[in-house]
Homo-oligomer: A and B are copies of this chain.
Amino acid sequence: MDIEKANAKATERMIEAHPVLVGLGKAKDVIPGMRDNLLMHAGPPITWERASGPMRGALTGALIFEGKAKDPAEAEALITSGEIELEPCHHHQSVGPMAGVTSPSMTVYIIENRKHGNFAYCNLNEGYGKVLRYGAYSEDVLKRLRWLDGVMGPVLADSVQAADGIDIKALLSEALHMGDEGHNRNKAGSILFLKALAPYIAKSAPNSDIASDILRAIGDNALAVLNPVMAACKAIADAGHGVEGSTIVTAMARNGTDFGIRVSGLGERWFTGPVGTPKGLYFPGFTAEDSSGDIGDSTITETAGIGGFAMAGAPAIVTFVSGTPKDAINTTMEMYEITYAEHKYFTMPPLDFRGTPTGIDVRKVVEKNITPRINTGIAHKDAGVGQVGAGLVRPPMSIFEEAVIAFAEQYGL
């Protein structure tokens, strides 16, 4: 068996994937397998019993949003009884930031990989502060979700259609030349997204006040484009998945309790281990004591060759996640050690337009004893609080070791 050839194929498919935002729709109408009694969540599978504070908070909020529960106790009863089922976003061609909880009536972005034909989905970004994805579920959080779904969602759907889609691959390539790394820093990407949609939003909105509100909501949210970018990265990673004999990682995701990875040549199996706690900068009034364990599907960005892996092109991010511009360069240089390819289209001007390190090889991770570096937001450990900082984190080495052993067993090496 030629592992190198398999990895070349998997990474080439990832690099040549062409994700385009083609529409928005209700999760239950567009996501395969979404159903009335399902909540999707970030990371590998999880139960209520093992779920972290922010994950429980987000599950509670989603059930209140759906009109199925009034409080955490009712949410817990519905979920532990099995009346409401929990499944990873990743099991439904989807991803979600932080808790990643997505319920049937939420609006989601629809990404089509125009090169290979697969689709991927992600919910809408709520902005900063107390938000569902960080486990907050107060009335203002729910009000915001209702506005996103009832007001912004339909206008964005019409706008994306009128624009004949938004090329997220091209947007990312450009944003990486504007100081973004595409995960924790999406300042440029979000206003490129605004730029692409604004002429259509003005026409699609029912009136100028709503147009103004939507333009402000996107423009003021430097993470507005994170969610379509995550869905784009999911479409990219899925294009590289399922290549016989490939040791390339095609999913990295955390549910707040477990960090899980999937490998291209190892089917749907998750390799999981305990999440770490991010190291970084905390917002005023918070410390590492307040931090939840690592959480979210946004590590799909690093899986696709951006995020922490592209930090060399985003030196200003260190003001947010800690460190110096030299650390940012070092992070990218280190990731070349554990990846198969250099990206053709995602390049970094400060490294003389070198392509980002793309396609994590579980064998290299183990051989070199270097785990992937991830940029991340930090959630409060308790339900209902929200974001408390941002920083850097790594997955546990054990899951890569297990993947290497499983690979050897499956392929009889």
Contacts and interface: CB of A to CB of B under 8 A. Distances in A.
A41 interface: no
Interface stretch (A51-59, A75-83, A126-134, A209-217): A209-217
Interface in A139-182: 174, 177-179
28 contacts: A178-B178, A178-B179, A179-B179, A179-B188, A188-B188, A188-B191, A194-B195, A194-B219, A198-B198, A198-B216, A198-B219, A199-B215, A199-B219, A200-B212, A201-B202, A202-B211, A202-B215, A203-B209, A203-B212, A208-B208, A208-B211, A315-B349, A315-B350, A324-B352, A325-B349, A325-B350, A325-B352, A325-B353
Interface string A221-252: 00000000000000000000000000000000
Closest CB pairs A-B (n = 9): A315-B349, A195-B219, A202-B211, A177-B316, A199-B216, A198-B215, A202-B212, A316-B349, A191-B191
Per assembly, the copies of the chain total 2
A142 to B, nearest CB: 24
A316 B316 CA distance: 15
A212 B211 CA distance: 10
Contacts of A209: 203
A187 interface: yes
Interface in A330-357: 349-350, 352-353
A164 to B, nearest CB: 14
Interface residues of A, number: 37
Contacts of A212: 198-200, 202-203
Contacts of A187: 174, 178
A179 B349 contact: yes
A216 to B, nearest CB: 4
Most B C-beta atoms less than 10 A away, residue of A178, A194, A202:
A202
A122 to B, nearest CB: 22
A205 interface: yes
A8 interface: no
A5 interface: no
Contacts of A195: 191, 194, 219-220
B349 A326 contact: no
Contacts of A324: 352
A179 to B, nearest CB: 4
A192 interface: yes
A205 B196 CA distance: 19
